[in-house]
């Protein structure tokens, strides 16, 4: 009897939990990358036209074009609900309806009015604005897919067409408002407290942390909890030390995108990177690079984190301040002071990320 040669036995590459999660998220964004790219370019065009004075923010033309460019971002929970549910094998339109429920006027009117003592069946509701968010809908639709699988096993097949969506919406939408969304709010508030704690002690450390994690906070939608700190600082003294620190992160993404653009031989990936660079550089909208490349390739995450940390630490060490609130881009550079020191920080992040991508590559695909 011949011994078994273990070298001849095929082995299956075990997918880690993180690979599966990132692969699912990346696959959910893939169908909407085209419209993200087109919308981002509209935002970049509007930034140029308003900067040179050819178009006014108050004009009807600007409002209509801005609506065209901003719609995909505002209704992100709807689009992501559709694509994620489809990716997970559930009903995409139910997933979209879950996202739409968070933006439906009956709910948003409560948020706008800052209604007090709102409850659902006696359980207090923490109101929040979910437009442009990612984290709540990711959790909600993931739970919906599990519920949908369970319902398919216990509901008579001929009744599933309307019974499954009925039960899913009645269960998942309240859970999202009561649990998933507030969870992100609590995490965001804790994060804001932590950042304030750091900023009171070390500009360099705060800059490194902010520059490293900002891209990932944006993916989860947790950055909205930090932005009020920027606005409070501006309202109090007219200067904000935190926004220059986080500005290193989007510039690191631009650098990584440049690296991928120059390095890749994949025509589709090169086109994607190129289309993401323009709105990122001119309008500060990095969604194409974030969801098209950063989430898709694990190695780019480390590159962006390291480059953002170094750039953020430089701006923190130099004491760079923001004089107004603006998305970090080349057109918003004059908002920060001193401009020269600010450029050292963000360009360091950009160049370092580009060089690291060219040298180390972007491989390590998650899906």
pLDDT of residue 365: 55
Output the pLDDT for position 20: 73
31 pLDDT tier (thresholds 50, 70, 90): confident
Percentages of the chain per state (helix, strand, coil), in multiples of 5 = 75, 5, 25
Structural domain includes residue 4: no
Residue 77 lies in a domain: no
Number of H helices, E strands in the chain: 16, 4
**Rounded-to-integer distance, Cα 145 and Cα 147, Å:** 5
- Residue 183 banded pLDDT, cuts 50, 70, 90: confident
**Is the distance from CB of 249 to CB of 312 less than 8 angstroms?**
yes
Is the N-terminal amide bond of 338 cis, ω within 30° of 0?
Answer: yes
**CB within 8 A of 149, min separation 6: which ones?**
89, 90
**Residue 285: what pLDDT?**
83
pLDDT of 43 over the 70 cut: yes
The answer to whether the CB of 133 falls within 8 A of the CB of 139 is no
Mean of pLDDT values over 163-187:
87
In this predicted structure, the answer to whether residue 279 has a pLDDT above a threshold of 90 is no
Domain tally for the chain?
1
In a domain, 312, yes or no: yes
pLDDT of residue 168 exceeding 90, the answer is yes
CA of 317: how far to CAs of 213, 252, 342, in Å?
Answer: 18, 18, 11
Is 2 inside any structural domain?
no
Q: What are phi and psi of 297, to 5 degrees?
A: -120, 115
Residue 95 has pLDDT above 90, yes or no: yes
Residue 323 lies in domain:
202-367
pLDDT at 240: 87
Mean pLDDT of the chain: 85
Residue 357 lies in a domain: yes
The stretches of 176-226 forming alpha helices (DSSP H) are: 181-199, 203-220
102 is a domain residue: no
Span 114-147, pLDDT tens digits: 878 888 888 888 888 888 777 788 889 999 999 9
**In angstroms, how far is the first alpha carbon of the chain from the final one?**
42
211 lies in some domain:
yes
What is the pLDDT, as a whole number, of residue 15? 57
Query: In terms of pTM, does the model score above 0.75?
Result: no
Indicate the SS3 state at residue 365: strand
Q: At 148, is the pLDDT very low, low, confident or very high (cuts 50, 70, 90)? A: very high
User: Does residue 1 have a pLDDT over 50?
Assistant: no
Is residue 45 domain-resident? Answer: no
């Amino acid at each position: 009897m011949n011994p078994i040669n273990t070298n001849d036995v095929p082995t299956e590459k075990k997918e880690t939990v993180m690979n599966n999660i990132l692969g699912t998220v990346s696959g959910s964004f893939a169908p909407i990358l085209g419209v993200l790219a087109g919308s981002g370019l509209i935002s970049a065009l509007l930034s140029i036209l308003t900067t040179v004075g050819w178009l006014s923010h108050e004009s009807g033309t600007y409002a209509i074009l801005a609506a065209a460019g901003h719609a995909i971002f505002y209704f992100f929970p709807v689009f992501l609900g559709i694509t994620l549910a489809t990716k997970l094998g559930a009903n995409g339109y139910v997933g979209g309806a879950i996202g739409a429920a968070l933006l439906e006027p009956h709910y948003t009117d409560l948020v706008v009015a800052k209604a007090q003592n709102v409850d659902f069946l006696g359980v207090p509701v923490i109101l929040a604005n979910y437009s442009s968010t990612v984290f709540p809908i990711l959790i909600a639709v993931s739970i919906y897919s599990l519920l949908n699988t369970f319902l398919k096993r216990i509901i008579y097949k001929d009744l599933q067409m309307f019974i499954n969506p009925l039960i899913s919406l009645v269960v998942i939408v309240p859970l999202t408002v009561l649990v998933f969304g507030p969870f992100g709010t609590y995490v965001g508030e804790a994060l804001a407290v932590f950042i304030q704690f750091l900023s009171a002690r070390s500009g360099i450390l705060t800059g490194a942390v902010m520059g490293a994690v900002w891209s990932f906070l944006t993916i989860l939608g947790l950055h909205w909890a930090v932005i009020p700190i920027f606005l409070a600082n501006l309202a109090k003294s007219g200067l904000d030390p935190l926004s220059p620190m986080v500005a290193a992160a989007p510039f690191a993404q631009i650098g990584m995108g440049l690296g991928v653009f120059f390095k890749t031989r994949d025509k589709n990936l090169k086109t994607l990177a190129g289309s993401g660079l323009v709105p990122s550089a001119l309008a500060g909208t990095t969604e194409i690079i974030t969801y098209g490349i950063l989430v898709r390739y694990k190695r780019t995450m480390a590159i962006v984190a390291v480059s953002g940390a170094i750039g953020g630490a430089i701006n923190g060490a130099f004491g760079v301040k923001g004089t107004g609130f603006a998305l970090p881009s080349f057109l918003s550079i004059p908002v920060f002071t001193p401009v020269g020191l600010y450029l050292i920080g963000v360009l360091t992040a950009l160049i370092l990320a580009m060089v690291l991508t060219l040298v180390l590559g972007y491989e390590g695909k998650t899906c």
